[in-house]
A and B are shown apart, each in its own frame.
Chain A
Amino acid sequence: MTSPVRRSAAPVLLFLLLVFSSSVSAWKKEEFRSCKQTPFCKRARTRAPHSLPPFSVSDVSLSDGSVSGRLVPSPSIRQVTDEDPSADAAVDDTAQRPLLFRLSVYHGGILRLEIDEDPSSAPTPKRRFRLPDVLLPDLEDRRLWLPRLSSPSGVAATSFYLADGFEGILRHDPFEIVVRRTGSEGEPVLSFNSHGLFDYEQLRAKKEGEDWEESFRSHTDSRPHGPQSISFDVSFHGANFVYGIPEHASPSLSLRPTRGSGVDESEPYRLFNLDVFEYLHDSPFGIYGSIPFMLSHGTRSTSGFFWLNAAEMQIDVLAPGWDDSAAPNAGRVDSFWMSEAGVVDAFFFVGPGPKDVLKQYASVTGTPAMPQEFAVAYHQCRWNYRDEEDVAAVDAAFDEHDIPYDVLWLDIEHTDGKRYFTWDRTLFPHPEEMQKKLAAKGRHMVTIVDPHIKRDDSFHVHKEATEKGYYVKDASGKDFDGWCWPGSSSYSDMLNPEIREWWADKFSYKNYVGSTASLYIWNDMNEPSVFNGPEVTMPRDAIHHGEVEHRELHNAYGYYFHMATANGLVKRGNGKDRPFVLSRAFFAGSQRYGAIWTGDNSADWDHLRVSVPMILNLGLTGMSFSGADVGGFFGNPEVDLLVRWYQLGAYYPFFRGHAHHDTKRREPWLFGEENTALMREAIHIRYSLLPYYYTLFREAATSGIPIMRPLWLEFPADKETYDNSEAFMVGSSLLVQGVYEKNQKSVSVYLPSGASWFNLRNGVKYDGGVLLKLDASEDSIPSFQRAGTIIPRKDRFRRSSTQMVNDPYTLVIALNGSLAAEGELYIDDGESYDFEKGAYIHRRFIFANNKLTSIDIRPSTAGEKKFSSDCTIERIILLGLPSGAKKAVVAPGNHEMNIELGPLTLRKGSKPIALTIRKPNIRVADDWSVRIF
C-alpha cells in the first residue's frame, strides 16, 4: 500500500509521509520473526540430509498391542554441522539419551508415532508438554491390538499390519518408518526420517555460563528450560502435490515448495497463531490459526500426516532434487517439519482415496459440529453497528429491499469500555428488547467476546479471575498484564478445565446481563492478540496451568478459548441448543466447536482470489465451516468487487459481510438499484441452496468431508484439477468458478472429466475434461451442476431462513448419460440436539428408468425420536431428459401431472428451458415415486 520510505528523503517529506502513511501501511515484516531470526528454525533448516548422527532402534517389543522400543543416538560424537556458533548449536552429545517411542495402529488406516524422552533418566524435573483435549476421547477404543510383529528378511526391520493392503515398516538402523502397500512391490506411501533429519533436543540442566535467553526486538524470552526443539522429514510417495497446514494466505491451492532446486527459496510455512495487521495475500507466514496436518495427492495415492503439537512450527515443502539435484525424484513430495517444543505425536493416514484421508483425520480430531440452520444463512456484520437505532435501521433496510439475512453482528464498540459481557448503555440501553425485535422476525444476533479481560477492579470478571488466580502468569509468576482493546488486560488460562468451566458459566442468562436466547457469540483476538507482546502475542515464557509454558501451548490457546465459549452456550441452553461461536484463532479440532473465518482481509481483488484456496485448505484440514469477510475487511471495495464478492461468498460455508470502522457503509442496498439487485440475487442463491448446504453440513458432521471441496477431492484421477485454485465443488454436485478480476470479459472454467455438466445459467450441457471459455456475465459467476446428481432447493424467499421452514422444495435433477441421477436431503429442527436421538428426515432421491424414487436412508438405529415435516415438493426440474415426456404419475395415488417447459430459476428473465413437473405436491417426508411418460 505504501511505498517504502527512502532514507535519503528530505526530513520534512519524511515527517509528512510518516504522519500520513506509517499507520496505514500494510504488513510490518520486521515485527515478525523470520526463520533466520528463530534459532531452532535456523539451526534445523541449514542441515543437510543425513548429516546428523543417526538414531537406531533397539528393544523393539509389543506392549499393550503397540510397538514400542528405544531410539538410541549414534555413539559417535554429534557433528556440529551448521555454522551457527550459538550456544545451542554447540551442545555436544551429553543430552543425547535414548528416547522412547511407540507405534500404534488405529482402525481405518491410521498409524500413530509417539516419541518422548525417557522420564526415568531425566536430568531435570521439567517434562515435555503433551497437548490434551484435542484427540477424540474415544480414539483409544479404536486402537487395533497388534497380534504380532514380523521381520522382513534381508534388513533389520520390524513390520506390522496397518490396514487391509497397508503395512508399517520400522527400519532399525538408521531409524526410519515407512508406510507401504502390501504385496510384492511394497510401494511406499509415507515415510518418516528417510532423509535422516530427525533431531530431538533433549531437556537438560543449564551449563555454567550458558545463556538460554533469546531476544527479539525489545522482547526477551527467558527460555528457562533451554533448547528443546524437534525436527524431522516426512515423505509423501506417489504424490504430485501437498495441501493443508493452514493458515496461510496464498493464491495457490497446493503448497508451493519453499526450497529445493529450481525454486526461489522462501520462508518455510510457519504455524504460529498471530494477529497480523493487513496480512499479505501471498505469504508463507503464519496468521490466525494452525493445523499441522498435511495431505498429499497424486495419481497413485492420497495420504496425510498430522503432528499433534501446539508449539511454533515451521514446515518446508521441498522441491524435487532438494536433497540430490542430480537425481530429482518426481514421484514424491518431501517435507521438513520443525517445532520449538513438545513431543512427537504424529499420525500417518494411508488413504487410499482423498475422502478416506479426510475421514481418517476426522476420526482422530473429530468431525465438524452440526450448526444451527440460521448459521448457514447470511450474516451481516460491521465494526460497528453503532447503537440500537442503527441496528433497527439496518434491519429495516434489509426488509425494505427484500434481501434476506439471518444474523446481525455487534463488534467491540457495543461494550462498556471493551468489558465483554457488558453493554454501552448509552448506545444500547435495551439490549434484550433489541434482540427480541430481531427474534420476532426470526433473526439472531451475535456479540463479540474476546479473551483479553480489562484490568479494572470494578469489572466483576476481572475481579473474580484475579481472586481465583485464573489468569495466565508471566515468567515472574505475576498475572500476565498485556495491552489490548481495553488497554491493560489479562488473559484467563483456558488450559485449565476448571477455568474453562468458570468461563462457560459467564454465558448464562443470569451472568451475561442483557443476553437472550437468540444471542450467539464471536471470539476474536484469541491467538491471543497482545498489542505490546512479542509479535503481537503473548510472551513464550508466560506460564499456564501445570507449569506449562506458553511456547508449548501457543497455537492451541484460541482453540481452548473457542471450546470454553461454545461449551458456555451449550450450558446456557441446558444442552438443548446448538451453540454458534465464530473464532478467529483455531487449531486441529476447532471444527468441533464452531466456525472460523479468515480474519482481517482487505478489500482488493487479490484477497477475493485467495479466499478460495484458503477456505479449501481449511476444509481439507477439518475446518469446513469457514469463510472470508465478504467485501474485504480493510478498505473500501469498488462496487464491482463487492458484487463479485457477494457472488462468490454466497458459496462459502460461512457467509458474512463485514467491514472495518473506517470504511464507508457497504450494506448491499447502498450502490444503486442495479447493484442492489445483483447482491440480492447472490444472497438469494444462497438461500435457495440452504437445503443442499444443510444436507452437506450433515455429511460433514458425520464424515468430515468438507462442504466446499477442491475439484480433485471429487475427481481424484483428473490431473488437471490438482492445482485448480479458482474453481471448487460445493458438495459433490455443484461446481463454482469465481470471477477474480475487474472488468473481466470472459472466464475460463475447467470442467473435470468423468462427468457431464449443466450450466445453471442456461441449462446447456457440456462434456467434462474441457477448459470452457464463457462470457463473464455481470449477474452471476459460473456454476454447473454435475450430471447424475439431484440438488434440493427452496425457491421462495423470506426475510430469514426461519420463515422458510414450511416452504416447499424444488428438486433439480441433472441426468447423466444413462439418464440416472441421485441426491440427498437432510432435514431436522435446525436448532436442537434431538437429531442425535434420531429426530431427523434423511432421504435419498434416485432417478433411474424414467422414475424418481424417494427412499428413507435414516437408519432404524438412529434413535427413538422422530422429526416430521409437512413440506412438499412443488417443482421437479429435469435436465438432460430427451424431450417427449408429457406426463408424470405419482405413486401412491396415481395422481397425474403435466410436464411443461419451465425456467431453471425464478429470477426475472429466465427462459423456459427445462422440463418441469408442475406441482407434484408430494410430501418430502414420505416414500413415493414419480414415473415419467
Chain B
Amino acid sequence: MGALRIKLSLTITCLFALWIAGFASLPAREFLGIAPQDEGYYKSDVIKCKDGAKKFTKQQLNDEFCDCLDGTDEPGTSACPEGKFYCRNSGHIPQIIFSSRVNDGLCDCCDGSDEYNGNVNCSNTCWEAGKAARERLKKKIEKHQDGLVIRKQEVEKAKQEFVKEEVELSKLKNEEKILKGLVEKLREHKERIKKAEEEERLKKEKEEAQRVAETKSNEQKQLLDEYPEDLPERPHDKLEKTSQHVLEDKDITTVKAGANEETGTKEVHPDDAADQVQSPETTEGLSREKLGRLVASRWTGELSDKQTKEHNDKNEEEKENHDFAESGEEENYDSYYHSDTDDDRHQYDDEDDDNDFQDDADEPYGKDEVEYDDSSYTDKDFTSESPDTTTGSLSWLDKIQHTVQNHEIISTFVESSRVNKEYDDASLKLSKLQSRISSLSEKLKHDFGKEKEFYSFYDQCFEYKQNKYVYKVCPFRKASQVEGHSTTQLGNFGSSDEFLPLCQSIKAQRLLLHELRWANFEESYSVMQFSNGEKCWNGPDRSLKVRLRCGLKYELADVDEPSRCEYVAILSTPISCREEKLKELQQKLEDLNKSQPLAHDEL
C-alpha cells in the first residue's frame, strides 16, 4: 500500500511537472486563443457570451465544454464549432483560425500554438515565414508604388485625351454642319450647270435639226449619258471594296475547313454529321465505330459540339464578315486619326517598358490599316491636310468654300466636270466625317471609370497563349479563344454598365470563386465581364470574367475555365494599382515589423 501511494504521488508530481513544462512557453490556459486586444473582455469572474445569450464563469473559460454557441467561452479549444482561435505568431502576422483546427494533429499556426495537447510537435516557423512574407509584402508595395506613378500619368493622359476627343467631336460636328451646307451648295450648282447644259443641248439640237448634221449629235449624246450617272459618291468603289472582303472571307472559310479536316484528331466525319441530322432513329445502320462515337457523344457532347460549332462557325463567319466590314471602316478612321494619338502612344511606350506587348497587341490592327489604305479610301489630301484639326481643317474648308464662291455659272463642258468632281469630293468627305463622328461618339459613350483611367484600354487587345489556345481580350469589344484558324467568341463587352463594380451584382457574382467575393469590399472597377459568347453544347453561352490586378505591365494571364464555358482570367495593369490598397499593404508591413524585434528577442 505504502509503495503504491509513493508511486502514485510520484506520478502526479511528474505529471504536474510535465504540465508546467508543457505550458511554460504558451499563454496561460485561460488566455489560450484570445487576441491581446480581447484579453480585457475575459478579465471579470463572470463573462458574457458575445452574442448575449448566456453568461459563464471564469472556470468555464477554455474548459473544453461549449457553453456559448458563438464560441466565446472556448477561444482556445475545439469545443465550440463556431469558435475562433487566435495565434500570436510572433515574428509573423497573427492569425485567427477555426476552432476545428485546434488540437487536430495538424500544425496551422506558424507558432504551433494550435497544437498543445502533445499529440503532435509543431515547430515555430514564424520567423522564416514572417521574413518571407515581409519580403513579398515589400515587393508588393514597391509594385504598387511604381504602378501608381504610371497610373497617375496614364490617368492624366487619358483625361487630356478624353477632353481632346470631346473637343474634336464638337469641332467635327461644326464642320459637319458647314460641310453639309457646302455639299448642298455644290449640288445646287451642279444642278444649275446640268440645267444650263440641258438647255444648251436642246438649243444645239434645234440648230442641228435645222442643219440636219448627223454624226456630231451622236457623240454629244454619249457624253451626256455618262455624266448624270456619275453623280453620287463613286458607288463602284464601294462595291469593289465590299466584294473584295467577301472574297477574302471566303478564302478564310475554305482554309479553315481544310485545316479542321487535317488536324482534328476527333474530327467529325461528314457522314456522322449527316446521320445525326437526319432523325433520332438513325443510330440504326451506323457503322460500329460511328455508333460508338455517337453514343459517347451523349455524355461528352463532343460530336454534337463540333456540329454546333460548325454551325456557329458559319454564323460567326457571316457575323465576322459583317464585323470586318464594320471594324474595317472604324480602323480606317482610327488610322486616319492616329496621327493624333501616335505621339502619345510612343510616350506611353517609353514609360511602360514593355514595348513588345504593345506591339503584339497592335499588330493585327496595324495590318488591317495597311490593307485598307491600299484598297480604296486614298484621300491623301484629306488626311494630310488635317493632322491639326484646328488650323488644317479651316484651310481645306476655306479652300472648298472659296472654290464654291468663285463659281460662275459657266456652262462649258470643262466647268461642269470640275464641279462634279468637287461635289463628289465634298460629299465623300462629309460621309467620312460623319462616320468619324459616329465612331467618336460611340467611343465617348463608354464608361472609362471615375477618372477615365480605362480610356487607353479602348483600342488595345491583350493576348495570352495557353497550350494550343490563344486568348484575346479586347476591352470594350470582345474576347475570343483562337485555336489555329478557328476562333471561338467568348463574349462581348457589351455596354459600359457591364463593367461591373462588384458590389452591385452579388447575384451575378454568385458563381465566382471565393476570392472574387472579397473584391466586394472595393467599390471599384475590378472585373471586366464579357458575356453572350458562343453557345456551348448542353451548357451556357460562353463568358469570360477578367479580373484586374495591379501590375507594372499590361499582361493577360491565368486563363481558366472553372466551369464549362465559363472562363476567368487575370489582367495586370498599372490602372488597377490603388492608393487605398497601397496604404493597406503599408499598414500590414508596419504591423509585421512591429512584432519583428520581439520575435527576434525570443529567438
Contact = CB atoms under 8 A, between A and B. Distances in A.
B540 A799 contact: no
Contacts of A714: none
Nearest to A24: B538
Contacts, number: 160
B289 A919 contact: no
B510 A671 contact: yes
Interface string B296-320: 1111110110011001000000000
Nearest to B51: A908
A874 interface: yes
Across the A-B interface, give the 5 residue pairs with the lowest CB-CB distance, nearest first: A483-B292, A532-B292, A23-B304, A531-B295, A532-B291
Interface in A501-535: 530-532
A236 B217 CA distance: 115
Nearest to A910: B69
Contacts of A278: 298
Interface string A258-285: 0000000000000000000110000000
Nearest to B289: A483
Contacts of B106: 440-441, 799, 803
B562 interface: yes
A821 interface: no
B311 A19 contact: yes
A536 B289 contact: no
B81 A797 contact: yes
A536 B303 CA distance: 17
B101 to A, nearest CB: 8
Contacts of A393: 513
A484 B292 contact: yes
B536 A662 contact: yes
A488 B292 CA distance: 9
Interface in A447-481: none
A662 B286 contact: no
B434 interface: no
A13 B95 CA distance: 62
Contacts of A807: 78
A795 B69 CA distance: 12
Interface of A: 5, 15, 18-20, 22-25, 28, 30-31, 217-218, 277-278, 393, 397, 400-402, 404, 440-442, 482-485, 487-488, 530-532, 536, 600, 660-665, 669-672, 684, 795-799, 803, 806-808, 874-875, 903, 906-910, 912, 918-919
A22 B538 contact: no
A672 B506 contact: yes
A30 B291 contact: no
A544 B66 CA distance: 62
6 contacts: A483-B288, A488-B289, A532-B288, A532-B290, A662-B301, A664-B564
Given A18-B280, A662-B536, A664-B564, 14 more contacts: A23-B304, A31-B283, A483-B292, A531-B294, A532-B289, A536-B295, A661-B300, A661-B564, A662-B301, A664-B566, A665-B563, A906-B66, A906-B80, A908-B70
Contacts of A661: 300, 564
Contacts of B276: 18-19, 22-23
A803 B106 CA distance: 9
A217 B286 CA distance: 10
A270 to B, nearest CB: 19
A25 to B, nearest CB: 7
A531 B296 contact: yes
Given A22-B304, A803-B104, A919-B65, A665 B511 contact: yes
A487 B82 contact: no
Contacts of A440: 106
Nearest to B288: A532
Contacts of A909: 69
Contacts of A665: 511, 562-563
B287 to A, nearest CB: 8
Contacts of A442: 105
- Most interface-central of A600, A670, A808 (chain B CB within 10 A): A670
B548 interface: no
A399 to B, nearest CB: 8
A903 B69 contact: yes
B518 to A, nearest CB: 11
Most buried by B among A31, A531, A661: A531
A684 B81 contact: yes
A20 B301 CA distance: 11
Given A23-B304, A662-B564, A671-B510, A796 B100 contact: yes
A919 to B, nearest CB: 5
A22 B284 CA distance: 15
B561 to A, nearest CB: 8
A31 B511 CA distance: 37
A803 B114 CA distance: 14
Contacts of B294: 531
A663 B566 CA distance: 10
Contact of A277 (B299, B304, B562, B564): B299
B484 interface: no
Nearest to A400: B514
A796 B79 CA distance: 6
A908 B82 contact: yes
A410 B64 CA distance: 38
Nearest to B278: A18
A104 B297 CA distance: 50
Given A22-B276, A531-B293, A903-B69, A796 B81 contact: yes
A874 B292 contact: no
B511 A670 contact: yes
A28 B100 CA distance: 49
B65 A918 contact: yes
Given A662-B538, A799-B100, A18 B277 contact: yes
A875 B64 CA distance: 11
Contacts of B162: none
Contacts of B232: none
B113 to A, nearest CB: 17
Contacts of B82: 906, 908
B381 interface: no
B266 to A, nearest CB: 9
Contacts of B54: 912
B65 A663 contact: no
B554 interface: no
Contact of A906 (B69, B101, B540): B69
Q: Which of B54, B511, B514, B536 has the most CB of A within 10 A?
A: B514
A301 to B, nearest CB: 45
A218 B69 contact: no
Contacts of A401: 514
B514 A397 contact: yes
B125 to A, nearest CB: 15
A530 B295 CA distance: 9
Contact of A874 (B65, B536, B537, B562): B65
Contacts of A487: 292
B119 interface: yes
B281 interface: yes
B292 A217 contact: no
B215 to A, nearest CB: 60
B98 interface: yes
Contacts of A400: 514
Contacts of A532: 286, 288-292, 295
Given A22-B280, A532-B291, A218 B285 contact: yes
B279 interface: yes
Nearest to B119: A806
Given A5-B280, A22-B304, A672 B98 contact: no
Nearest to A488: B289
B539 interface: yes
Contacts of A796: 78-79, 81, 100
Nearest to A15: B277
Contacts of B307: 19
A665 B304 CA distance: 22
Contact of A663 (B303, B513, B563): B563
Nearest to A639: B510
A104 B165 CA distance: 99
A908 B291 contact: no
